[in-house]
Structure 1
Amino acid sequence: MFNKFLRENKIATVILTVLRLYLGYSWVTAGIGKLTSGGFDASGFIKGAIANPVKGPDGAVVFGWYVDFLKHFALPNVDIFNIVVPVGETLIGLGLILGCLTTAAMFFGLVMNFTFFLAGTVSHNPRDIFIGFIILTAGYNAGKIGLDHWVVPFIRKMSNKNASPDKAKATV
């Protein structure tokens, strides 16, 4: 019932637009801030997450696999992350603000939120994840007041045009 409301209701479309703009602004300002600061460097954050991993009440490392990922992949390739993080944040924010490929933007936003969360950064991540799941669940309706109004039908049309003739007939 709630999913139907999120996916089909016009009032939900307006509420989702407000949530999308709020979250998009947060993402785009974070990304642009890193891009214009004169040299974003993720190595300090990564080293801090490795040195102080998330621990459970018994003192054991909770996400040991993630610490291994940071130590053996992220840190040696930090130059890639120094580009991917600020550009990704900016693109996620623009996608949400413009309502263009909203579900894809929100999916990648959630991926980034969870990576920060796994590293032990709580901050505003729980709120952003909660809002993000609402937007992601709403699907097309979240971007209906935005460029998705035109982009999604165009993509569907192109997808049907490129499908095999039998499949295209079945979807018409």
Structure 2
Amino acid sequence: MIHTFLRENVYAAGLLLLLRLYVGWEWLTAGYHKLMDGFDAKGFLTGAISKPVTDQGGELIYPNFTAFLEHFALPNVKLINILIPLGEVLIGLGFIVGALTAAAAFFGLLMNFMFMFAGTVSTNPWLILLGGLIMIAGANGGRLGVDYYAAPFVRKLFHKNSFHGAKQQS
């Protein structure tokens, strides 16, 4: 019932617009400040590696993520320093204008979970909850935005280039 409401109801689209604007603003301002003030993830990554999330017995809870940080993220910190702020700005813009809303929600959730795996709570659970609702809403999440106008074009483009469309043409 709630799933149908979120995905199809025009009133839900209005509520999702408000959620999108709030979540988008949070992402946009976080990324903007990182871009303008300078951002260096090296200290955060080093701390996340040296003090990873463990259980009460000292056992690593996310050993694969800690290995990812140690063997990929930290050696490529210059790339991470670009990707995180740029990703935050793009996610924020996607939410605010309602363009590629479901994709923005997906990548927002991915970044929030990455931050939580590294041991940072902050606003991440709240943004996961709100971003999850927007992602569950699918196309209705961007109904009052650019997605409303872009969706028919994208559907036509994918239908034309799909195997099914190619089969009909022959």
Superposition TM-score, scaled by structure 2 size? 0.95
Quote how far apart the aligned CAs of 1:166 are.
4.6
Amino acid at match of 1:36: M
Work out whether 1:139 is the aligned partner of 2:138. Answer: yes
2:47 paired residue number: 48
Quote how far apart the aligned CAs of 1:59 are.
2.3
1:3 paired residue number: 3
Quote how far apart the aligned CAs of 1:168 are.
7.4
Amino acid at match of 1:65: N
Q: Cα gap change, 1:113/1:162 in structure 2, threshold over 3 Å: closer, same or farther?
A: same
Work out whether 1:94 is the aligned partner of 2:68. Answer: no
Amino acid at match of 1:71: E
Alpha-carbon distance in structure 2 between the residues aligned to 1:14 and 1:165: 35
Work out whether 1:82 is the aligned partner of 2:81. Answer: yes
Q: Report the 3-state secondary structure (helix = DSSP H, G, I; strand = E; otherwise coil) of the residue aligned with 1:160.
A: helix
Alpha-carbon distance in structure 1 between the residues aligned to 2:59 and 2:163: 53
Alpha-carbon distance in structure 2 between the residues aligned to 1:160 and 1:126: 37
Quote how far apart the aligned CAs of 1:97 are.
0.3
Alpha-carbon distance in structure 1 between the residues aligned to 2:74 and 2:32: 23
Alpha-carbon distance in structure 1 between the residues aligned to 2:108 and 2:165: 36
Work out whether 1:21 is the aligned partner of 2:21. Answer: yes
Amino acid at match of 1:151: A
Q: Cα gap change, 1:140/1:60 in structure 2, threshold over 3 Å: closer, same or farther?
A: same
Quote how far apart the aligned CAs of 1:158 are.
1.1
1:111 paired residue number: 110
Q: Give the number of equivalent residue pairs.
A: 169
Q: Cα gap change, 1:76/1:11 in structure 2, threshold over 3 Å: closer, same or farther?
A: same
What is the CA deviation profile of residues 28-86 of structure 1, one whole-angstrom value per residue up to 9, with x for unaligned ones?
0001111111x311101101101111111222221111111101110000011011000
| Contact in 2 for aligned 1:99/1:147 (Cα 8 Å) | yes
Quote how far apart the aligned CAs of 1:162 are.
2.0
1:160 paired residue number: 159
| Contact in 1 for aligned 2:159/2:165 (Cα 8 Å) | no
Amino acid at match of 1:20: R
Structure 1 stretches lacking a partner, 5+ long: none
Structure 2 stretches lacking a partner, 5+ long: none
Alpha-carbon distance in structure 1 between the residues aligned to 2:99 and 2:165: 30
For 1:65-80, what aligned pairs fall within 5 Å after superposition?
65-80=64-79
Q: Cα gap change, 1:77/1:146 in structure 2, threshold over 3 Å: closer, same or farther?
A: same
Q: Cα gap change, 1:147/1:168 in structure 2, threshold over 3 Å: closer, same or farther?
A: farther
What is the CA deviation profile of residues 97-142 of structure 1, one whole-angstrom value per residue up to 9, with x for unaligned ones?
0000000011000110000000000011111111111110000000
| Contact in 1 for aligned 2:160/2:166 (Cα 8 Å) | no
Root mean square deviation, CA, Å: 1.5
